[in-house]
Amino acid sequence: MPKINQLIRVIAIVATVLVPVAAPARDELACRSQTAALDLPYQSQVPPGWEHDRFGTEPPGEQQIVAGPFVSAFPGPQAERDGSPYRAMPRWVAYEMRALVDADGHPRHPQGARRPSRWYELRQTAFLWTDRPDIAHSGLDPSYRGFATLWNRGHLAARAHANRIAWQEGCNSHVFVNALPQHARLNQGDWLALENYAAAAANRFGRVWTIAGPVFAPDRPVETIGQPGTVPLPVPHALFKILAIETEAGLEARAFLFPQADEGDLAAYRRCSGTRQDSYDLGRYGIAIDRLEALTGLRFFTRLDESHRRAIFSASDAELWPIPPSFYDDRCGGRAAAR
């Protein structure tokens, strides 16, 4: 009998290792509320071996904020004094995402928690409202009040992707060094479809690196959101995203540009909840990386030699990598990604 009991325990241990545990219902966990300290709600660190900005993005910003799920290049007081449109939001955010599959290679849904009602404020952004008599409401969350139905607090590093590290890091993604005003139709539509595609690509290729940020056209007026007494937030004319993978053939990248300044562009976006994932033509947003550099003033893949950079750039607006449906977990028209 003791040998039989020991065998049963061994079988149970093996089963626990091999069979993935289903993620609990989302409402079983909830992100904690902001404390008095202007800090992330949970202890955060980049997982060992992960390199969020592996290939190099410049400039690094007046402040480079490294958290578990991303690295953010955030402007400082100088951008505010200069009246730059690239203020009160990150110039760019970069992050690595890894595959999340079970022993048979099937996608696993990461555990998540109910998002906070208010996003978290950080000390690195406190200069935007500290010692400013015109700002009566501290923080950046108040700037979205009255506008959030149209202009979402748009993640650059997706919460669902951060959940792949830990649900606590998904909560940590709700910070304004990882957000900017993003039109609701884009945020809940084509942008979300691309996030789903990126997650499926990570499941297929093992790792995906993402760089994302705002674009302002120098010849266009810049609108802001925010009631009087709040920090005015410039609304980007467009958002960009770059995805990179490593295969046996080498490093490859695809780049995308999503306009959000004209009604015609916004009307073309389709909400994820009512649109099949495979009906999105994400390739229509393709753009060459050297063109993105000209639009943003940023430089990408700076840790590579120039010939290698140019080779990657030349194919950056090519067709998307084919990803079979079996690699998808979240998809539009099916299970929606946790926002």
Using a pLDDT cut of 90, give the percent of the chain over it.
Answer: 88
Given a contact cutoff of 8 angstroms between Cβ atoms, the answer to whether 177 and 72 are in contact is yes
Given a contact cutoff of 8 angstroms between Cβ atoms, the answer to whether 207 and 200 are in contact is no
Q: Which tokens sit at 103?
A: 């022993």
C-alpha–C-alpha distance, residues 109 and 106, integer Å: 10
Structure confidence by residue, pLDDT tens digits, 75-84: 999 998 898 9
Which segments of the chain are extended strands (E)? 57-58, 63-67, 70-74, 92-98, 151-155, 179-183, 207-215, 224-225, 233-234, 238-247, 250-259, 299-300
C-alpha–C-alpha distance, residues 122 and 140, integer Å: 10
52, 155, 161, 237: which one is catalytic?
155
Q: Is 308 a catalytic residue?
A: no
Given a contact cutoff of 8 angstroms between Cβ atoms, the answer to whether 182 and 154 are in contact is yes
Mean pLDDT calculated for residue range 42-52: 96
The whole-chain average pLDDT of the chain stands at 91
Checking phi first, is residue 83 left (phi over 0); if not, alpha (psi -120 to 50) or beta?
A: left
Q: How high is the pLDDT of residue 334?
A: 78
Given a contact cutoff of 8 angstroms between Cβ atoms, the answer to whether 215 and 238 are in contact is yes
Structure confidence by residue, pLDDT tens digits, 147-163: 999 999 999 999 999 99
Hey, what domains does the chain have and what are their CATH numbers?
2-327 (3.40.570.10)
With 0.95 as the threshold, say if the pTM is over it: no
> Which residues have C-beta within 8 Å of that of residue 208, sequence separation ≥ 6?
96, 97, 198, 199, 201, 202, 243, 244, 245
Looking at per-residue pLDDT, the higher value among 197 and 22 belongs to: 197
3-state secondary structure (DSSP) of residue 293: helix
C-alpha–C-alpha distance, residues 290 and 299, integer Å: 8
Q: How high is the pLDDT of residue 10?
A: 36
Given a contact cutoff of 8 angstroms between Cβ atoms, the answer to whether 155 and 175 are in contact is no
Q: Which tokens sit at 149?
A: 């139905």
Checking if the pLDDT of 8 tops 90, the result is no
Looking at per-residue pLDDT, the higher value among 36 and 87 belongs to: 87
Buried b (16+ CB within 10 A) or exposed e, 187-219: bbbbbbbbbbbbbbbbbbbebbbbbbbbbbeee
Structure confidence by residue, pLDDT tens digits, 88-127: 999 999 999 999 999 999 999 999 999 999 999 999 999 9
Q: Is 187 annotated as a binding residue?
A: yes
Checking if the pLDDT of 11 tops 50, the result is no
Checking if the pLDDT of 15 tops 90, the result is no
